[in-house]
Structure 1
Amino acid sequence: MPLQYAVPGTGGVGPAGAVGAIERVLLDGFDPEAAPARSAVPVPAGELLMMPAAAGPYAGVKIAGVAPANPSAGLPRITGSYLLLDGPTLQPLALLDGAALTALRTPAVTAAALRRLAVPEAEHLVLFGSGPQAYGHLDALLAVRPLRRLTVVARNAERAGALADYGRKLGLAAEVGDPRVVREADLVVCCTTARTPLFDGALVPAHAAVAAVGSHEPDAREVDELLVQRAELYVEARTVAEREAGDLLMAGVAGRQLWNLAELVRGDALVPDGRPRFFKSVGMAWQDLAVAAEVYRAAP
């Protein structure tokens, strides 16, 4: 079967479609705990990642590059390509832009989690970061939650202001703030390159839901141990979190209950009142496959 599509972006699939694709894979019975591990290879420019997966009628692999110096040269930090294959024959079906796919699927995973972890009346999002993932997370969360207020916290004031302007164009009361604003948050999303905590976990309200997606390294974190100690904990898969989730590993969560995303989406996870809920995402290959397949199915 010849390669049929070379897709520069993600076609007609938007945030809502990507969230639905993630949820359908899990509702159909996929077990994220059994998913293949990501391979990471250090290279002079940064890191090369290879992420294979198979589920349902499709298989695929993403080859991604993480180049920390790229933004200073006006280039994206995340690069790569995604090869979608026919599951039964492993014949190529489509080649997709890996960076565009990542920018769509990571927020979709967060949105699938937070639509279940946020309290019904949640309307104030505090968003750490001002890059592509920050924009993607705002779009994805608006697809699943009726937000009214946005506060952007970022190191670059100009970029933070631009993201707040974008939020206002979407109808939100949006402003730039500092980390202390988490005390007023209903939702907190961290999508940065930080390696140390961004805010004081004691300030997070008991009703709030928090997500951290910025790292997949065991020695990097965006939230502190106090928040982790206070919160009910959720991950994409326990097997992966035990290797890569620095936010949890550095806080010492041995023996703690970690609910995985499948349990959350299927309604089997505990979602308690009276304490924060924290979702830690490191990114998994099955998520890329789910969204890549959705893009392929939606292609003309």
Structure 2
Amino acid sequence: MGKAADTALIKVVNLGKSFDVSEPFLQRVVTRSGRKIVNAVDGVSFSIERGTTFSIVGESGCGKSTITRLVAGLDRPTAGEIAFNTPDAAPVRLQMVFQDPIGSLNPRWRIGRSIAEPMDRTMDGNARRERVGELLKTVGLAPADAGKYPHEFSGGQRQRISIARALAADAELLLLDEPTSALDVSVQSQVLNLLKDLQERLGLTYLFISHNLSVVRFLTDRIGVMYLGRLVEEGSGQAVFDTPQHPYTKLLLETIPDMENPKRDRAPLTGDLPSPLKPPSGCVFHPRCPLAMEVCSTVRPELQVVENGSNVACHAVAQGAAMAAPVNRYAVV
């Protein structure tokens, strides 16, 4: 998937993560119920080339953030492998930028202290202060801001501070978990422009998690579309946006405002999201899919390369039943 594996900074193969959400043992004995297991991530594979952005999109609860936690090492996978391609197998330098900037900053610390924390063991006091000032300028703030507290900044400024803190550890891989969803649209564009500029200047690699496809299109090189723990489509940003193949991807793209045709007819996504405790058999999307066939309810489709170069898990697409979507100029924040 993507370019050759030896140029990728990270490669994820058949990644899986299950959570035991069972009731307490005694309650299970009384109710005579068994264990309840949720497969939050189920056989996901992708790679990220150095200096590029790989975005994962999908509805809430599809497993996007769980993948981020697995890559960060905050959770351990129950299946599969996460491999980093670094010289002499050295640990990759990665940092996370969270969705809520105010919740990720210590309200009792001046922001200079928060940014300097990763450098406590590598620099003395004067060097740290100088480096903090440089990082603040890098993200569009002033060195004098180091003496202020998080509540003295706007949401967009706090997210810039979070990015500066991530860069303080000389990170080469940033895990961006919905970094703009808590911000106003105008502020979102400022943060996205900053991330794009930093990537070009510093050669950073991004794993970007979002449900906002407009945001994703602005920043991404490749996209993975997830549904109920599985990857249903993966390809270049241009291919996925211009010629989406999986029915779920097409329905997601219908949610993006089209400035040239704001009153266009849209196909609604029918049905409720199935419970992750009892996912549908076969293709997990088949109960809501307008192209569902008999085979979809019994056989799990595997990702396979289609005409536009994307990898798609869909029986209908494989059999040529799905029509190519028209090209639209989707709005970008």
TM-score (norm 1): 0.31
TM-score (norm 2): 0.29
